[in-house]
Amino acid sequence: PCSRCCPTRCSNDCSSLRSFVLDPFDSSSCLVVLLRQPLPNRRAESWCQSGMAAAREAALRLPPLPTVRDLLRMYRIRAMRQLSQNFLMDPKLTRRLVKAAGKIRDHHVIEVGPGPGCLTRPLLELGARQVVVIEKDPRFLPSLQLLAEAADNRLKIIMGDVFNYSMDDLIPQELGVPWEGPPPPVHVVGNLPFSVSTPLLVRWLRMASRRQGPFLHGRVPFTLTFQKEVAERIVAPVMHIQRCRLSVMCQAYCSVQHQLTLSGGSFFPKPDVDVGVVRLVPLVEPVIQQPFDLVEKVCNCLFNGRQKYLSNGLKNLFPSSHVDLAKDLVKLVEIDPQTRVVQLTVEEVGRICQVYEHFCLQDAKLYEYNFRLGRW
């Protein structure tokens, strides 16, 4: 009997297999087997496991569908350059991008900006338990509905602007884990239009710092596409030519990895730049403890001129009537005022934020000052 390899005891011996799996996500499903000639237990167990794996892969495989390129032709959809829409057509590259997000099988995935479903297909084929897509452009609804019908209820479509969704209600409560533990079995992915990728990233960093939205359920990883230069800025270390405010803000709240670079020629229509894929995982403890909005303001002021000295950047935090506070701040953080801002570590920016917060608590109007407007 096959009690060693099947949780349910079958009436037949494990021999050559003819099998099926009732549920591709149910590891306890029993294999139905027919007896031809007895096999050793180890070999039988191996055959059962192989048969179950093959049956599960077959259950995940989508039925034949038109290619993304064919769907665009069928529905007469053209990418809108004003919306920075670019589609990744090559199935091999879409699978590479999806795999850059980490383990997908049996995980819950939120895809932002799916378009005609370029990434949605490999997400489903690689075994995502559930894929929720948020799409703003109604022209893509027919192609997404076609995928949903083929995916056997594993694809949910939400039409709307992602900036209007906190996304906390798009993740099942039972998937949530403590913040201090490993990331939950949830991913956020997206091949975003370049025009919204950075504002959306900053929005999610703010949510992560407050443990809101998808991060209410734990340290949810998010994998996104950016212009190559923006991807390089996100991961840029100290003294790197691309070091900027985004570098400090991302690295203050997340572990960041530049997973791969895709040639612009891989997309349709072809963008003028190459594309970088970045994976971010929120840190258990942020490097900078101050409120996100204060950190964002300090970074904006410091990196207003990346090659400027620290002393110049700090002046942007204070009105001319309080310029002496900038000098006091330099002394308190114990950093050379002639240090260029690209030389600052995240920890050093954290010290600046800490002292600036102290000044703001003493005079609440300081926080309201906007150096770009030159007024409170």
Q: Confirm or deny that 135 is annotated as ligand binding.
A: yes
Q: Where are the alpha helices (DSSP H) in the chain?
A: 41-60, 68-74, 91-99, 120-125, 141-150, 194-210, 228-235, 245-253, 292-302, 310-315, 323-333, 346-362, 365-368
pLDDT at res. 344? 97
Residue, of 246 and 22, whose pLDDT is higher: 246
Q: Give CA angle at 266 (76, 70), nearest 5°.
A: 25
Helices 346-362 + 323-333 axis angle, to 10: 130
Instruction: Indicate the CATH number of 292-368 among 2.40.10.120, 3.30.160.60, 3.30.450.20, 1.10.8.100.
Output: 1.10.8.100
Contact (CB, 8 A) for 268 and 89: yes
Nearest to 119 by CA among 141, 96, 150, 85: 96
* Residue-wise pLDDT tens digits, 30-41: 444 434 445 556
Q: Confirm or deny that 137 is annotated as ligand binding.
A: no
Q: Among 60-64, 95-99, 148-152, 289-293, whose mean pLDDT is lowest?
A: 60-64
Q: Confirm or deny that 88 is annotated as ligand binding.
A: yes
* Residue-wise pLDDT tens digits, 86-107: 788 889 999 999 999 999 999 9
The whole-angstrom separation of Cα 127 and Cα 150 is: 14
pLDDT at res. 93? 94
Superfamily of domain 68-282: Vaccinia Virus protein VP39 (3.40.50.150)
This prediction has a pTM of 0.81
Q: Confirm or deny that 12 is annotated as ligand binding.
A: no
Q: Among 91-95, 254-258, 284-288, whose mean pLDDT is lowest?
A: 91-95
Nearest to 353 by CA among 333, 374, 323, 339: 333
The sheet carrying 254-262 orders its strands as: 155-159, 130-135, 108-112, 186-190, 222-227, 275-282, 254-262
pLDDT at res. 11? 44
Band of pLDDT at residue 193, cut at 50, 70 and 90: confident
pLDDT at res. 186? 98
The whole-angstrom separation of Cα 328 and Cα 326 is: 5
Nearest to 126 by CA among 155, 156, 106: 106
pLDDT at res. 9? 45
| Structural domain spans, the chain | 1-60, 68-282, 292-368
